[in-house]
């Protein structure tokens, strides 16, 4: 009985690993599932999504990782390297060349840009995003990256406006921007704890990123009214240590290794 239980626990244990070409069909499904609200308004053929994912993999395979639960991919995270500073980020589409990374990924770039982080409900139940972020953090530290950047959607913005009976389209650009700025700081109480109203932005904040700038037309996403929030995360190693190639290598690989040990991650968080 104990042996069977142990085998079951190992089989269902969440793991993160590098993506391979064998994962592409499942990654297409996952993209459609986790961004269903975006594709419901702006439909894209599965073949086009497959082509985008294949191109991403060709351009920056080493920075595409997946998370499995019970042998099924339930999450994916993708980054590119860039020399662009955070102040130069204008939109997700521009920064990633519409998600393909063609001409935007520079293998020796000083900064990382998080292209996407997508996790299913099943993956979220196993805290798979924590493991994906940890493994990518390990790659970031090992590469001696300076700043990690991401542009977050704020998909619950529409819901927040509806609750307040706001006709957003009738407002001036200035009034819209002011409301969006108010929203990204709005909070609600969940299970007795005060959290940001927007669940996606809250998830990133919990991972340690710092929201810095609200960008109009930063993300083509109707639920977010096409706003994006630029977030950043600096290399956690002290300056003296992150300049050492050996220290960065060892620290990064240790973090990546810990990514497949959720109990260790919980103690470190």
Is residue 157, in this structure, part of any structural domain at all? yes
Report if residue 214 sits inside a domain.
Answer: yes
- What is the arithmetic mean of pLDDT over 149-174? 96
Residue-wise pLDDT for 69-96, tens only, equals 999 999 999 999 999 999 999 999 999 9
Q: What is the CATH number of the domain that holds 257?
A: 3.40.630.30
Tokens (6 digits) for 183: 């929203």
122-155 pLDDT, tens digit each? 999 999 999 999 999 999 999 999 999 999 999 9
CA atoms within 13 A on the CB side of 268: 14
Higher pLDDT, 267 or 43: 43
- What are 81's strand-pairing partners? 112
- Residue 269 domain-assigned? no
- Total domains present in the chain: 1
Range of the structural domain that residue 61 is part of: 2-264
3-state SS track over 193-251? EEEECCHHHHHHHHCCCEEEEEEECCCCCHHHCCEEEEEEEECCCCHHHHCCHHHHHHH
Q: Is the pLDDT of residue 107 over 80?
A: yes
- Residues 71, 76, 82, 88, Cα dihedral to 10°: -170
Percent of the chain exceeding pLDDT 70 equals: 94
For residue 5, the model assigns a pLDDT of: 41
Q: What does the pLDDT average to over 212-233?
A: 95
Question: What does pTM read for this prediction?
Answer: 0.90
């Amino acid at each position: 009985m104990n042996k069977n239980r142990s085998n079951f626990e190992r089989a269902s244990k969440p793991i993160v690993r590098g993506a391979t070409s064998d994962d592409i069909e499942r990654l297409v499904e996952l993209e459609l599932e986790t961004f269903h609200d975006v594709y419901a308004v702006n439909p894209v053929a599965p073949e086009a999504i497959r082509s985008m994912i294949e191109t991403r993999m060709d351009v920056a395979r080493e920075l595409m990782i997946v998370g499995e639960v019970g042998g099924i991919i339930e999450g994916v995270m993708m980054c590119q390297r860039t020399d662009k500073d955070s102040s130069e980020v204008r939109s997700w589409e521009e920064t990633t060349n519409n998600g393909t990374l063609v001409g935007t990924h520079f293998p020796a770039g000083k900064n990382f840009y998080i292209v996407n982080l997508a996790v299913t409900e099943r993956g979220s139940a196993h805290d798979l995003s924590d493991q994906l972020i940890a493994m990518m953090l390990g790659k970031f530290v090992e590469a001696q990256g300076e700043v990690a950047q991401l542009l977050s959607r704020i998909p619950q913005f529409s819901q927040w406006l509806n609750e307040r009976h706001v006709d957003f389209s009738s407002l001036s650009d200035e009034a819209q921007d002011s409301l969006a700025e108010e929203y990204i700081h709005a909070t609600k109480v969940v299970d007795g704890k005060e959290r940001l109203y927007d669940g996606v932005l809250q998830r990133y904040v919990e991972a340690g990123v710092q929201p810095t700038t609200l960008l109009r037309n930063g993300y083509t996403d109707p639920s977010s009214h096409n706003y994006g929030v630029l977030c950043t995360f600096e290399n956690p190693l002290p300056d003296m240590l992150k300049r050492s190639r050996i220290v960065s290598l060892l620290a990064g690989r240790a973090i990546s290794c810990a990514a497949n040990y959720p109990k260790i991650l919980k103690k470190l968080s």
